[in-house]
Amino acid sequence: MTNSVCETFFRDVAGHSYAAMMAAREGVPTARIEVDFRAPSRLGETLDWRLGVNRLGRTSIAFRLEAWGDGLHRLSALLTLVFVDGAGRPKPWPDAMRERIAAFMESA
């Protein structure tokens, strides 16, 4: 679920879908994830996801995700993703992506 939220972020906010990254032999694999499950969720429930960017580094991004359902805080997650080339080596964010992510951070 967290991957889906991040995938949507890159498509809608950063303007660079996972499909486009894969076609360019790039990607954003998860380097770190920490999750606190606060209340159980059941199959078929719809959760409201909230995403914030904690930090935008030269090659990485740190996200804060929360999921809510029926007024209950279901989970909190901290994720670090790294922008990599086709060989899996970290590389700097393209300027256009960095600018869009920075604008999102400023608007939050």
Domain count, the chain: 1
Task: Give the domain range for residue 99.
Answer: 2-107
CATH number at residue 102: 3.10.129.10
Q: Give the per-residue pLDDT at 10.
A: 98
For the entire predicted model, the pTM comes to 0.93
Q: List, in sequence order, the alpha helices (H) in 1-108.
A: 2-12, 18-23, 95-107
Q: How many other C-beta atoms lie within 10 A of the C-beta of residue 82?
A: 18
Q: Give the per-residue pLDDT at 108.
A: 85
SS3 content of the chain, % helix, strand, coil (to 5): 30, 40, 35
pLDDT along the chain (108 residues), means of 10: 96 96 96 97 95 98 98 98 97 97 95
Which candidate, 54, 10, 8, places its Cα nearest to that of 32? 54
What CA–CA distance (Å, rounded) separates 95 from 29? 19
